[in-house]
């Protein structure tokens, strides 16, 4: 299972690389990698597991964060979070997006960033995405709200982008044009 010691932190070069497409059908190794990523996110939302293994809670994690530069991430919102998304995304793409932007009113954090960085992170409010699942089957989703924000945060990791790259350096809380805050 993935533990905090397996998660690389800002400054590690892999976080700034462009991760490589994954060959389909998935090798057994890549299938295990994807399942381990999902297992981490699910574990990180379970009180006992958090206590027992000192996990930082998360709703997503990308392969580069465990030093594997492959285009795979997992996102999981548990049923009582009120959000409806639990996916393993292989070679994900945003195929279209709204003009309208959105941002988390509380800002963003990252399992690979051991400090709090205040500021609004502007992202697309609504996105249409494509990816492959564990069986190598392509799926398409339309996302909005926190699931859309999470997908963009994880996709950024596959492109060597960190959430704070999007924060306005002059005024981190500057009003973002045509944007809706998500609380």
Q: Judged by CB under 6 A, which stretch of 19-27, 128-136, 150-158, 174-182 contacts ligand NB4?
A: 150-158
CB closer to ligand NB4 out of 27 and 106? 106
Q: Which residues of 71-108 are buried (b: 16+ CB within 10 A; e: fewer)?
A: bbbbbbbeeeeebebbbbbbbbeeeebeeebbbbeebb
Considering the complex, what minimum distance in angstroms separates the CB of residue 159 from ligand NB4?
12
CA distance 39 to 122: 29
Considering the complex, what minimum distance in angstroms separates the CB of residue 15 from Ni ion?
9
| C-beta neighbour count of 156 within 10 angstroms | 19
Considering the complex, what minimum distance in angstroms separates the CB of residue 64 from Ni ion?
9
Considering only residues 31 to 90 of the shown chain, the ones binding ligand NB4 according to CB under 6 A are: 45, 57-62, 65, 78, 81
Q: Is residue 5 within 8 Å of residue 24, measured between CB atoms?
A: no
CB closer to ligand NB4 out of 59 and 127? 59
Q: Is residue 87 within 8 Å of residue 38, measured between CB atoms?
A: no
* Residue 10: active-site member: no
Instruction: Say whether residue 167 binds ligand NB4 (CB under 6 A).
Output: no
Considering only residues 104 to 133 of the shown chain, the ones binding ligand NB4 according to CB under 6 A are: 108-112
Instruction: Say whether residue 110 binds Ni ion (CB under 5 A).
Output: yes
Q: Which of 10, 17, 39, 154 is catalytic?
A: 154
Distances (CA, A) of 175 to 72, 130, 164: 33, 30, 16
Q: Judged by CB under 5 A, which stretch of 23-31, 83-91, 107-115, 172-180 contacts Ni ion?
A: 107-115
**Residues identified as active-site:** 154
């Amino acid at each position: 299972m993935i533990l905090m010691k397996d998660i690389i932190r800002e400054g590690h070069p892999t976080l700034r690389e462009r991760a490589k497409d994954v060959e389909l059908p998935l090798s057994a190794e890549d299938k295990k990698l994807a399942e381990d990523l999902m297992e981490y996110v699910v574990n990180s939302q379970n009180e006992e597991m958090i206590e027992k293994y000192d996990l930082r809670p998360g709703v997503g994690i990308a392969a580069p964060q465990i030093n594997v530069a492959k285009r795979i991430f997992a996102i999981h919102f548990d049923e009582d979070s009120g959000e409806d998304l639990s996916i393993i995304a292989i070679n994900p793409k945003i195929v279209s997006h709204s003009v309208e932007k959105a941002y988390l009113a509380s800002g963003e954090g990252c399992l690979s960033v051991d400090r709090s960085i205040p500021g609004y992170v502007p992202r697309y409010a609504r996105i249409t995405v494509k990816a492959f699942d564990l069986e190598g089957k392509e799926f398409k989703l339309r996302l909005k709200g926190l699931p859309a924000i999470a997908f963009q945060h994880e996709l950024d990791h596959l492109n060597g982008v960190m959430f704070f790259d999007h924060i306005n350096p002059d005024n981190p809380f500057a009003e973002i044009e045509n944007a809706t805050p998500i609380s």
